[in-house]
Structure 1
Amino acid sequence: MNMKEQDILLPALDRLTEIAGITAKILSYPSGRGKNSDAVIELIKGQQTSILEADVKTEVRTATLDNIILRQDQTDGRRILIAKYIPTPMKEELRKHSICYIETSGNCYIETRSMFILVSDQKTAQPKFNEDTKLWAPAGIKFLFAVLQEPEILNTSYRNMAYASGVALGNVGNFITEMKRDGYIIMGTRLGQPTLILENKTAILDKWADMYRTVLRPKQLVGKFRFAKKEDRTNWHEHTTQYDDILWGGETAGEILTGHLVPEIYTIYSNSDRFELMKRLRLVPATNGDVEILRPFWNQDTAELGHGTVPPMLAYAELISSLDSRNREIALRIKEKYVG
């Protein structure tokens, strides 16, 4: 376990004691090949004790969750995820699989044979982006989207990269420097000329999908709605060709691009006035509605579009990071056919 993980584990256990009155002891730090956890901890409350295998993470992503769920299913030992911040949808998924968790703020879910504790009212801020992590702040996520769509723009002018991604010209140099530093791009040659080459595109795309969902997507959300009439919900696809200012994303894009997904959430990307969209599509506001409207974040003049959908890469990202197994299966079909 490295120092960053230590700086998460110890404060989280101290906060758990403070908030829930549970005494936590670290029994061991497994090491070497085949280790199944970062630490083994014992939780003590009164006369009750529970031993859990802990996964300590500086960053929680969809792949992180997949690995923890897989290990939970393969072993008899109970698992606990410990992190600074865990997105709400991931907390729900962890509880669904009876996997305990603690945030350093004190929010936690502990369910074992001998104890049950759920704390969710402690204020937790999403990780802030400092000067070294601009690439995963909102503007950087926009820039990476353009690069992932067309890696060759890395070998064009900064002005062109700024235009293609819709970010400020002054940010492009910082993004390129950070990508080089993190090994996302390397210097090669083509026809005797120095050339920037995108490395590990699949790994970058999967991280991009998680970061888009948690960092940028919430900022693009206009609101949630529902169809006023049942027949409008049934015939949602008729709007695919009827209006050219509407692009379908998420599950609706999955259905259009593959024909193998019945949407439960209807995702619309549009720059049009919300009230005009509500009128045309016969939508009414609803806090927990199954229709969501978002603003596009990409340069629509340069992005590759599907058939009335958002760019297929974005549809893939929304579905692969949704934590729904049916959506993720469709995401892989989109990736194979459209993304590569």
Structure 2
Amino acid sequence: MDQPTKFSLIETARQVLAQQAGVRTDEPKTDRRFNGITRPRDGIEAFLDLRFPEKGPDIQYAVLVRRQVTAAVARNVAAVAQRLPVPGPYLLVAERIDAEALASLKTLGIQYVDGIGNVYLRSTEPYVHIRLSGKHVAKSRPAKVVRAFQPAGLKVIFTLLSLYSQRNSSYRTLARYSGVALGTVAGTIEDLERLGYCRSRKGGRIFDPDREDELLDRWVEGYLQKLRPRLGGQRFRAHDPDWWRSFELADFRAHDLWLGGEPAASVLTQYLRPGRVTVYGRPKLNELARRLRLSRDDEGELELLQPFWDFDKADAVKEYGGKRLVPPLLVYADLVGTGDARCLDAAGLIREQFL
């Protein structure tokens, strides 16, 4: 999303706050009152001073901007807010927030305003608690489709973010690791260059270090919204929910499995007690079912997803703590996707230590 669009959304939010909630706002500030703020690395687009009527307080919000917010985006925004160095409070400004995302944001404690009149503001002050539902449909121009953040392009970005040593590889090599066509690699890199995330030079590509966090967050949101739902997720219940603890590397290889999500986070951080066991792979289901005594169950703790990368011949770490794990970026994304506070804490540790 370009800067003019971001600030037009902030202006729309100011109008909604004034009309719907009776809250006056000052002009958004882009100067940095807080030490150490560098946009876009820190994700803050502006600061808004909200002035409440009568005896209400004046509150300065750090503004995060998204265009369309689904539950997946809401959970990633919560993860972003958790790691930001700004001491909050945060205000999510969006063109439209869907119903499931509204509930997620409230549960996650993220305040918001969107272009159709949904508002949620709260404060430690007893007289500031506003929650309003939008009454009209926002009129907006459709967002331009960016190939890089469509499912196939997301596979290429995953390779670029996970395999640092391969960033200057040929399109053919990147296509093989990503499982996509050569044209998809070319189109994705072209988009990343146009959006300013990287640039090509003789002998290789240079990624902007100040925008790497932003690219990672955009990938996580794209993965949760567009790619993960296509991975053929199946749910099972295992006789022993902790079966993965006794699995050795040979077992993971024999059944073509990679450990992801919460159990992978447990291996990496020694912090999380898994509730859901996420694995990626293409096992022979009959053999795996016999080994683990599986039964199909839509509420089961075992989630099986198809892998979408092929890093076997790449210079990448695949084994941690005697287990075969998916790349840390994927572990992080799956944790963020849960929206669970424990998982978000573990995601923060993984981002700090492995990404």
Superposition TM-score, scaled by structure 1 size: 0.71
Match of residue 71 from structure 1: 87
Alpha-carbon separation, structure 2, partners of 1:226 and 1:13: 49
Task: Pick one of 117, 123, 144 that aligns with 2:131.
Answer: 117
**Cα offset, 1:89, TM superposition:** 9.2
Indicate how the Cα distance of structure 1 residues 89 and 254 shifts in structure 2: closer, same or farther if over 3 A, else same.
farther
Match of residue 264 from structure 2: 253
Match of residue 135 from structure 1: 148
Output one character per residue of 1:38-97: Cα deviation in whole Å (capped at 9) or x when no partner: 3223467xx99675434443337546423679523xxxxx65322235689986675356
Task: Pick one of 266, 271, 275 that aligns with 1:264.
Answer: 275
**RMSD of equivalent CA atoms:** 4.2
Give the share of equivalent positions with the same residue, in percent. Answer: 25
**Cα offset, 1:267, TM superposition:** 0.7
Task: Pick one of 222, 225, 230 that aligns with 2:233.
Answer: 222
**Cα offset, 1:262, TM superposition:** 2.4
Superposition TM-score, scaled by structure 2 size: 0.68
**Cα offset, 1:279, TM superposition:** 6.1
Output one character per residue of 1:88-131: Cα deviation in whole Å (capped at 9) or x when no partner: 9986675356442123344443335334426499999xx98634
Contact 1:15 1:104 survives alignment (8 Å)? yes
Alpha-carbon separation, structure 2, partners of 1:136 and 1:167: 14
Alpha-carbon separation, structure 2, partners of 1:105 and 1:226: 42
Match of residue 292 from structure 1: 303
Q: SS where residue 101 of structure 1 aligns?
A: strand
Indicate how the Cα distance of structure 1 residues 56 and 106 shifts in structure 2: closer, same or farther if over 3 A, else same.
same
Match of residue 161 from structure 2: 148
Indicate how the Cα distance of structure 1 residues 98 and 280 shifts in structure 2: closer, same or farther if over 3 A, else same.
same
Structure 2 gaps, min length 5: 35-43, 67-72
Output one character per residue of 1:3-34: Cα deviation in whole Å (capped at 9) or x when no partner: 3234213434556788xx53343344345331
Aligned residues: 315
Aligned letter for 1:234?
Answer: D
Aligned letter for 2:263?
Answer: T
Alpha-carbon separation, structure 2, partners of 1:274 and 1:17: 57
Indicate how the Cα distance of structure 1 residues 122 and 142 shifts in structure 2: closer, same or farther if over 3 A, else same.
farther
Alpha-carbon separation, structure 2, partners of 1:235 and 1:185: 42
Contact 1:185 1:198 survives alignment (8 Å)? yes
Contact 1:224 1:293 survives alignment (8 Å)? yes
Match of residue 3 from structure 1: 4
Indicate how the Cα distance of structure 1 residues 82 and 313 shifts in structure 2: closer, same or farther if over 3 A, else same.
closer
Alpha-carbon separation, structure 2, partners of 1:154 and 1:31: 33
Are positions 1:38 and 2:39 aligned together?
Answer: no
Task: Name the stretch that deviates more: 115-124 or 289-298.
Answer: 115-124
Indicate how the Cα distance of structure 1 residues 222 and 31 shifts in structure 2: closer, same or farther if over 3 A, else same.
closer
Output one character per residue of 1:253-307: Cα deviation in whole Å (capped at 9) or x when no partner: 12334545322221111234778766653244234x4332222111254454333
Contact 2:50 2:58 survives alignment (8 Å)? yes
Structure 1 gaps, min length 5: 73-77
Alpha-carbon separation, structure 1, partners of 2:55 and 2:290: 59
Q: SS where residue 263 of structure 1 aligns?
A: coil
Alpha-carbon separation, structure 1, partners of 2:286 and 2:223: 26
Q: Report 1 or 2 for greater relative contact order, CA contacts < 8 Å, sequence distance ≥ 6.
A: 2
